[in-house]
Chains A and B, each alone.
Chain A
């Protein structure tokens, strides 16, 4: 088959892609939109958990019990989990495309990314919404104070 080489700087002539969704464009939009929301969610997370009160010293089971008995923080953490995992994994996909030169390597690495995102989002979501701040039989001094008031 004869190949024609176009003159340099001749205008782009291939017909623009017209069918189907432009996934790369929406991925690009997602990185920016989720980034803006994540600024608020992550800074809020870090301020409440690391800066206010006694910071990291205060974090234990009872602390989590106090936060996740409030739907506000459940929704907050759930949003943060989904947005950050998808943003991070999509960013890592860009890196795989940039640095893994072999087709099979790229496939394996992207498969591993997809797998870990699905497993961790499922696990994290289940943890948030099946969490019991006052598990039966646990020593009361490890639990939030509202557990003993019955």
Chain B
């Protein structure tokens, strides 16, 4: 759709069309909050990965050493932590695809807000499938 069709502004004009300035993807609301969440989840996953490579490396030390650390991953508090980690990954992954679509798909910027709610929707569906399954595994391990 060409901008001149709307008749209010010359093409390329940055004049605000409503009460807030328009056309700034990262300023306020969905565009900004998705960015904040993308940052926080990215940092969290990075630090998890550092620790994760170190604990996996224990397989080269001794089977007993690896099993001792893995058994701590099976207690309920860590179980909740793993749930949060999967939540972070799912958001970062879906929103990452949204960012890629904004950058490469011509209509991406126009639909960025819609795509944010699609990301939230997919995230809810993913977690609804994952959380019960994982928590049953974690809590049925208790007392073993």
Contacts and interface: CB of A to CB of B under 8 A. Distances in A.
A85 to B, nearest CB: 7
B64 A142 contact: yes
Contacts of B137: 50, 54-57
B45 to A, nearest CB: 7
Q: Is the interface of B mostly helix, strand, loop or mixed?
A: helix
A130 B43 CA distance: 30
A59 B70 contact: yes
Contacts, number: 101
A60 B49 contact: no
Contact of A50 (B39, B49, B60, B82): B82
B140 A46 contact: no
A39 B71 CA distance: 27
Given A51-B130, A55-B137, A42 B93 contact: yes
Nearest to B67: A60
B16 interface: no
B31 interface: no
B73 interface: yes
Size bracket of the B interface: 35 or more
B79 A56 contact: yes
B49 A127 contact: no
A121 to B, nearest CB: 8
Contacts of A138: 62-63
B60 A85 contact: no
A23 interface: no
Given A56-B73, A135-B62, A142-B67, 17 more contacts: A32-B100, A35-B93, A35-B96, A38-B93, A50-B130, A50-B137, A55-B133, A60-B63, A61-B66, A62-B63, A88-B49, A95-B39, A120-B54, A124-B53, A127-B57, A127-B59, A142-B64
